Amino acid sequence: MAEKGEEPMQMYAPKTRTQLRYDHAYISLKVQINDTWHWVKALHWNEIGFNFFFEEALASGTSLSFKKGNTLFTGKVVWQRQEITSKDLIDMALNMILLEQLLTEYHQKDPVLVHEIIDLVRDSSRTETKIDYCKEHFGLSIAQEDLKTKIVGNQWSELGQVGIEVDSGDWSSVVREALTHSEGIMALDEKNSKTFENLFKSLNRM
């Protein structure tokens, strides 16, 4: 059953949600809507799709044009959610704070830290753990006002979330390039994952 504010899933939509997706970084893209190009951040991406936040509702089945640099491709809207809960907004803000710290601390090449942060980001049920982790490892005491600032600054509460399915060699090239640019983080994550295989064996599937 679809959540309130979310369109019923189409027959082909589950494919984009059950395939391996990457969430350690976002991909900046432009999308053309009503003859205007808008910047968006592709999240939870793989070679067959991604999702992004946008201020307008977009009907399922709508074909959209995207571009990354000089690369053009099309994608189809397969799901959307126009109402984002307070819990989701808080989790998104905490995830952004964690990923900002990951980028800041990445030069230390700490595979344990990399894997722990990616683990936390992939789990939306660990709000208090994320807050405690930031305080323990980064000396950050995250207050309600800090989270509100992140949410308002990114306009998340005013946006809907849109799921896109893509069948394009050009998009696949964008994905491969993004993986190459982030292979350091991916390699550290994979190395530590193998070390603790029994504990973390399901982290790469969502």
CATH of domain 14-83+159-182: 2.40.10.220
Asked if residue 9 has pLDDT above 60, the reply is: no
**Residues 44-61 pLDDT 10s:** 899 999 999 898 888 889
Asked if residue 186 has pLDDT above 70, the reply is: no
> Of all helices (H) and strands (E), which one includes residue 79?
strand 71-81
pTM (2 d.p.): 0.58
Q: Which region among 11-25, 76-90, 91-105, 191-205 has the lowest average model confidence (pLDDT)?
A: 191-205
Asked if residue 106 has pLDDT above 70, the reply is: no
- Residue 140: which residues within 8 A CB-CB, separation 6 or more? 97, 101, 134
Domain segments of the chain: what residues?
Answer: 14-83+159-182, 86-153
Residue 194 phi, psi (nearest 5)? -70, -35
71 to 66, 103, 168, 175, 176: CA distances (angstroms) = 8, 26, 11, 12, 13
Q: Is pLDDT larger for residue 35 or for residue 16?
A: 35
Q: How far apart are CA 108 and CA 110, in angstroms?
A: 5
Q: What is the dihedral of CA 92, 97, 102, 104, to 10 degrees?
A: 150
